[in-house]
Structure 1
Amino acid sequence: MDRITVVGIGPGSDGFLVPAAKDAIAGAEILAGAPRHLVPFNGSGKILLPMEGELDSFLDVLAEKRHCGKTVLLLSGDPCLFSLLGKITARFSPDEYEVIPGVSSFQLLFAKLGIQWNGTEIASLHGRPLEDACRFIRGDCRTLFFLDSKNTGPKVAKYLCGAGFPDREAVLAERLGYHDERIIRSSLSDLSRGSSSEGLALLLLEAGPLPPSALGVLPDEWFDRTPGVPLSKAACRALAVSLLYPLDGQTVLEVGAGSGGITVELARRAGKGIVYAVERLPEAAAVVERNIHRAGAGSSARIVEGEAPEALASLPSCSRAVVGGHGGSAEQIIRSSWRKLLPGGRLLVTANMPSTADRAWHTLKGLGAVPCLMHVNASSAVGAGESWMLSAANPVFLIYGDKNTDKDGTIHGTS
């Protein structure tokens, strides 16, 4: 079978090409890639296939041309990091292509700075919302962003400063590996006052403190509210996300989002995961949407307007599930959510009424789980003259159970 060779051509000049990549290019009859990558091969006698127009159409042509001769697809940097390789793996079977790695631009940057990159959080803002930047910044390690022409270094810095991130050292690197490369050592605040810069660039931020809004759960008063739409209180939200830990990278289903209190806290911790929040009331779904974006977690949440359990049918399987509002159909919604739950996953129910908590407990038990129940009666301090007094929140029940697998592979709770 004719195979496509995906070649990483490194950053900038061909001085960063590995020997295997040079051999593959030299032996190619068909070269595919971005137009700028093909310019050096004009007049070489090779068939040149520029990557233009719709990506799917380009892949169609690539699939056809690979039968006409040895085909090499040129990709910038290392194909195994933020590249078209993901589309290749989805389109072709493993025996239809091979990959020759290359030097990534971020490797070159760290080499020029003379520092190690292990332990650095590496993220891409290519074609992604600017607010995604908040999700990848840690207090204990560096963060490296791959930028594009929309999310430039100054624009990202300005957004982070506006989001309350304290100042820290920053490095903006443009056109790495070319004769006109530019590496600017600066600070987040100074960079935010700069003008737009080269699109394909890297932004390296040193470790530093996070803004207060990034710590813990958000206070009740932070949330936008709509009359008649409930909001789970801070103690309930804190316990819910703790009982569902870890959340990073997980697919989470939430039924009955209300004002989005739990939705926001789940999305803030989901990282590369996705929270699907189902809400039947349009006015509630609108306020959830506002709160999600105010928290800078829009890309980690999908708001699904509809009535459960019917609205769950088109949603993917999940590793975590939360049932809050249920409209009187608690048992049915719990069972439907449980069916969406993957083996090893956890389902959590929040309830205000003892009768609902009891139904949730018995439903989970009937599904094969070993349910746990926690009753929370929290109070918080409010000012009273020169001192303070306690103000009680409504009591809440947290009921949860795990879809476990026996040693023989039997999954509990498939009914």
Structure 2
Amino acid sequence: MTRKWLSIVGIGEDGLQGLSAIARSIVNEAEVIVGGDRHLAMLPIDDQREKLSWTSPISASVEAIIQRRGQSICVLASGDPMCYGIGVTLTRRIPVSEMTIIPAPSTFSLACARLGWSLTEVETLSLNARPPSLLQSYIYPGARLLILSEGKDTPAIVAKILTKRGYGGSKITVLERMGSSHERIVEATAASWSETEIAALNAIAVDCIVDAGVVPLPRLPGLPDNAYHHDGQLTKHEVRAITLAALAPTPGELLWDVGAGCGSISIEWMRSHSRCGAIAIEQNSSRLNYIADNAAALGTPNLQIVEGKAPHALKDLPAPDAIFIGGGATAEGLFNVCWSALRPGGRLVANVVTIEGEQTLFQWYQQVGGNLTRIAIQRAEPIGKFLGWRAMAPVTQWVVIKS
């Protein structure tokens, strides 16, 4: 049976005295104590045991813990260590069979208890050491958000994002130092937020209310074309919806968006789930700026952007679960590189609008099969006093699954 040498103990705002008897026993019997300065300051002044304080980068501290494998080590954490906490980081390097994890109530649990919200019916995210623009993809009418704050300035940042997005009437509740004798709750709308005296340790609850006249962005693929800044190199929203359906994003999967244009495909791939990742490859420098701006505005700031021309720019990228080729399909050697990199069971989708592009797709189809589809869209537009059908350039789409 594997010996459990590492313990992770969650601590609330009431400190060590709030621990259960078992948790307190684990802390008392440990040979090495690990934690932040705030946690280590909770120990008695005359405690002579070895102590490790978290360093930056935190990977150095993780290595220091691993080097002491076999000693009795206790990590002190805030709240639930497995909720955006250090427990998640440690379990990536150390088998859970070697650990004992004792959580305290998470910030989210405490917030729901204060607000009377059901934890299973809220959206949860952390803005601690993460780009605030992550919030953008969580906003929709009626959403209830619980946000782990980075510090005293985060509520004002959240209020500004909501107001600019057209959700100025949303109710913001800031919950400070929950579980302590200094607990405090501050409430206001996003548009009227002016509170500056906020405790550094706080969580933010948002009841999203869309302003009158504002058209909300859908969460499904096929965002309106005007949601993007672009120079014309944009997969139109009808074709985008069809393309995302063919790519079939699944949580945790990685997409290569080759010839990304303004980034619409990779952005909507990532918007499908917070664990979906994407790499946008684009050679045009001005379009790279469009991709970055669109990713931030639409809540996917972690989109990886690679400048360069495929297939050369694809070298050394992590293996994808899906590949979309929206530009440069006729580049020599592109298919061979993409097909070789694609994981078994992965999907490759390519869209072209030229005869030369169709010829290329047909050659690929002859090699590995798949399905060829012609997508023709017509939109009703004014012709004088009347309406008439105006055809968009037809798109030929090739979809294949690697066996």
- Shorter-normalised TM-score: what interval? 0.7 to 0.9
Partner of 1:79: 81
Q: Count the aligned residue pairs.
A: 396
| C-alpha distance in 2 between matches for 1:199 and 1:386 | 61
Matched, 1:258 2:261: yes
**C-alpha contact (below 8 Å) 1:139/1:208 kept by paired residues:** yes
> Deviation string for 1:211-240 (max 9, x for gaps)?
6352263444554344xx733323222221
Structure 2 CA distance for partners of 1:201 and 1:383, relative to 1, 3 Å: farther
Query: What secondary structure, in the 3-state scheme, does the structure 1 residue paired with 2:121 have?
Result: coil
User: Contact 1:28–1:46 at 8 Å: present in 2 too?
Assistant: no
State the identity as a percent.
25
Separation of aligned partners in 2, 1:40 and 1:77: 15
User: What is the aligned-residue RMSD (CA, Å)?
Assistant: 2.8
Letter in 1 for 2:206: L
Unaligned runs of 5+ in 1: 404-411
Which runs of 5 or more structure 2 residues have no equivalent in the other structure?
none
Q: Which range moved further: 156-165 or 380-389?
A: 380-389
Alignment of 1:206 with 2:207, yes or no, is: yes
Q: Is the 8 A contact 1:335 1:363 kept in 2?
A: no
Are the equivalent residues in 1 in contact too, given 2:159–2:168 (CA < 8 A)? no
1:217 counterpart = 2:222: yes
The TM-score, its normalising length taken from structure 2, stands at 0.87
2: CA distance, partners of 1:72 / 1:348: 49
Residue 325 (structure 2) aligned to one of 312, 323, 326: 323
Distance in 2 separating the partners of 1:184 and 1:85: 30
How do 1:3-402 residues align onto structure 2 when only pairs under 5 Å count? 3-14=5-16, 16-54=18-56, 55-64=58-67, 70-139=72-141, 141-149=143-151, 152-165=154-167, 167-190=169-192, 192-195=193-196, 197-206=198-207, 208=209, 212=215, 214-215=217-218, 217-226=222-231, 230-246=233-249, 248-299=251-302, 301-326=303-328, 328-329=330-331, 332-364=333-365, 366-367=367-368, 369=369, 371-402=370-401
Is contact 2:152-2:198 (8 Å) kept? no
C-alpha displacement of 1:76 = 0.6
Moved more, 339-348 or 174-183: 339-348
| Cα 1:115/1:90, change in 2 over 3 Å | closer
Measure the CA separation in 2 of the matches of 1:394 and 1:115: 49
In 2, the alpha carbon distance for the partners of 1:88 and 1:114 equals 32
CA offsets 1:31-88 (integer angstroms, 9 cap, x no match): 2211211223233434151424332343344345565x53211001011111122332
CA distance in 2 between counterparts of 1:296 and 1:94 reads: 32
Change (3 A) 1:221 1:169: closer
Contact 2:269 2:276 in 1 (8 A): no
Q: Cα–Cα, structure 1 residues 352 and 130, in superposed 2: closer, same or farther, change >3 Å?
A: same
Task: Check whether the contact 2:263–2:295 (CA below 8 A) recurs between aligned residues.
Answer: yes
Matched position secondary structure for 2:42: helix
Distance 2:47 2:299 in 1: 51
**Matches of 1:243 and 1:251 in 2, distance apart?**
15
Once the two structures are TM-superposed, the CA of residue 125 in structure 1 deviates from its matched residue by 0.8
Change (3 A) 1:139 1:48: farther
Pairwise CA distance, 1:294? 3.5
SS of the residue corresponding to residue 109 of structure 1 reads helix
**C-alpha displacement of 1:256:** 0.9
Distance 1:40 1:290 in 2: 44
Contact kept, 8 Å, 1:173 with 1:182, in 2: the verdict is yes
One-letter identity of the residue aligned with 1:349: A
- SS state at 2:7 partner: strand
User: 1:263–1:104: structure 2 CA closer, same or farther, 3 Å change rule?
Assistant: closer
- Supply the distance in 2 between the matched residues of 1:208 and 1:176 (Cα, whole angstroms): 25
CA separation in 2, counterparts of 1:139 and 1:248?
24
- Aligned to 2:243, the other structure's residue is in SS state helix
Are the aligned partners of 1:16 and 1:103 in contact in 2 as well (CA < 8 Å)?
no
TM-score with structure 1 length normalisation?
0.84
